[in-house]
């Protein structure tokens, strides 16, 4: 697979979900094998600080994923999710404002944006992150696991039954490519709970949120008149996970299994994948890793088969 950029510059504007202000992004082609680079041009357009795509550039995972410390850019995950599944490896992204616009709350507007810009194949090969042995992270009852596989697939489970009777324990498994992402994941909108809105707004979050860009669940139901998928909330969690893992800037070849994860665990897992790739285990350590994984999988009561 070759590295890719876009054919032409393209811009989108809209409200930001957290600070409630109008912001815009401009995506420009990049041909120098430098990866995806963000710039916040709102602060000082004559003094730009590049923010490289990396899990180590994450400054916050509080209700979204934010990059950069000096010139922070918030809510990058939906855009990254679309870039990931179109295999865009090289891009310059200029953000006029502190946040990526939420648009309709999904990744579909970014899908349309990429299609409009067109994709240009570059000469260099993509560096694919191939999962060759189990990698996992566990936090209380939450976990993410990567298993070897010849394709990119995700098994995701959630349980928000304490928040809404519409969101009991549920599982989705998908093998992902561009077409499947567009059809099954890209239109799933971000979601929240009516009981949390006042707290979020008191902390200057979700100030731009509305029924136009988010699903709002109550204890007994949902405020939105229509949903786009029968299980739209869990599909959006998959969308977020894809975006957060693309902080690595590389396509993944492996089966990702996630339970009750979120931005914080996603980013911690991306960092672990990075270090595991850098410090790839030698043959004599693999059996110990498999034994350790057998123990943790038994504790979590999960299957280590290729598919569920």
pLDDT for 45: 65
Instruction: Give me the pLDDT at residue 72, please.
Output: 92
Active-site positions read: 263
Residue 197: pLDDT over 50? yes
Q: How far apart are CA 234 and CA 156, in angstroms?
A: 7
Judged against a pLDDT cut of 80, whether residue 303 lies above it is answered with no
Between 22 and 279, the more confident residue is 22
| pLDDT tens profile 170-180 | 999 999 999 99
Rounded CA gap, 262 and 8, in Å? 33
Q: Which DSSP letter does residue 99 get?
A: B
pLDDT of residue 302 exceeding 80: no
* Average pLDDT taken over every residue of the chain: 92
**Selection from 108, 59, 52, 54 nearest residue 79 by Cα:** 108
Q: What is the pLDDT of residues 28-60, one digit of tens each?
A: 999 989 999 999 998 766 678 899 999 999 999
CATH 3.30.1700.10 occupies which residues in the chain? 129-272
- State the pLDDT at residue 287: 72
Residue 265: pLDDT over 70: yes
More confident residue, 203 or 152: 152
Four-way CATH pick for 129-272: 3.40.50.80, 3.30.2090.10, 3.30.1700.10, 3.30.420.40: 3.30.1700.10
Query: Are the CB atoms for 137 and 272 separated by under 8 Å?
Result: yes
CATH architecture of the domain 2-125 equals 2-Layer Sandwich (3.30)
Report the pLDDT averaged over residues 139-153.
95
Report yes or no: 25 and 91 within 8 Å, Cβ to Cβ: no
For residue range 66-97, what is the model confidence (pLDDT) as tens digits? 999 888 999 999 999 999 999 999 999 999 98
pLDDT of residue 307: 37
The reported pLDDT for the residue numbered 213 is 96
**What is the reported pLDDT for 233?**
98
As annotated, the residues of the chain forming the CATH 3.30.230.20 domain(s) are 2-125
How far apart CA 200 and CA 193 sit, in angstroms, is 10
pTM of the model: 0.93
Q: Could you give the percent of the chain with pLDDT greater than 90?
A: 81
Q: Which residue has the tokens 């357009």?
A: 45
Average pLDDT over residues 272-287: 74
């Amino acid at each position: 697979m070759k590295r890719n950029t876009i054919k032409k510059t393209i811009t989108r504007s809209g409200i930001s979900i957290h600070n409630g202000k109008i912001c815009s992004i401009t995506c420009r082609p990049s041909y120098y094998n430098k990866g995806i680079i963000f710039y916040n041009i709102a602060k000082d357009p004559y003094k730009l600080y590049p923010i490289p795509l990396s899990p180590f550039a994450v400054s916050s995972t509080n209700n979204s994923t934010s990059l950069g410390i000096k010139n922070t850019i918030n809510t990058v995950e939906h855009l990254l999710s679309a870039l990931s599944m179109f295999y865009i490896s090289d891009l310059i992204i200029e953000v006029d404002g502190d946040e990526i616009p939420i648009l309709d709350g999904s990744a579909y507007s970014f899908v349309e944006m990429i299609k409009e810009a067109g994709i240009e194949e570059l000469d260099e090969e993509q560096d694919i992150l191939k999962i060759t042995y189990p990698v996992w992270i566990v936090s209380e009852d939450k976990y993410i696991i990567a298993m070897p596989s010849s394709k990119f697939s995700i098994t995701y489970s959630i349980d928000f039954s304490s928040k809404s009777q519409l969101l009991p324990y549920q599982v989705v498994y998908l093998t992902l490519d561009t077409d499947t992402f567009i059809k099954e994941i890209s239109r799933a909108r971000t979601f929240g709970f009516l009981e949390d809105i006042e707290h979020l707004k008191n902390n200057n979050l979700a100030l731009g949120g509305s029924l136009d860009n988010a699903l709002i669940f109550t204890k007994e139901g949902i405020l939105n008149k229509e949903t786009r998928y029968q299980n739209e909330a869990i599909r959006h969690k998959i969308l977020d996970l894809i975006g957060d893992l693309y902080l690595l800037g590389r396509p993944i070849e492996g089966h990702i299994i996630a339970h009750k994860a979120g931005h914080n665990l996603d980013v911690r897992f991306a960092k672990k994948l990075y270090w595991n790739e850098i410090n790839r285990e030698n043959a004599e350590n693999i059996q110990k890793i498999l034994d350790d994984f057998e123990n943790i999988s038994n504790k979590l009561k999960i299957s280590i088969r290729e598919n569920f």
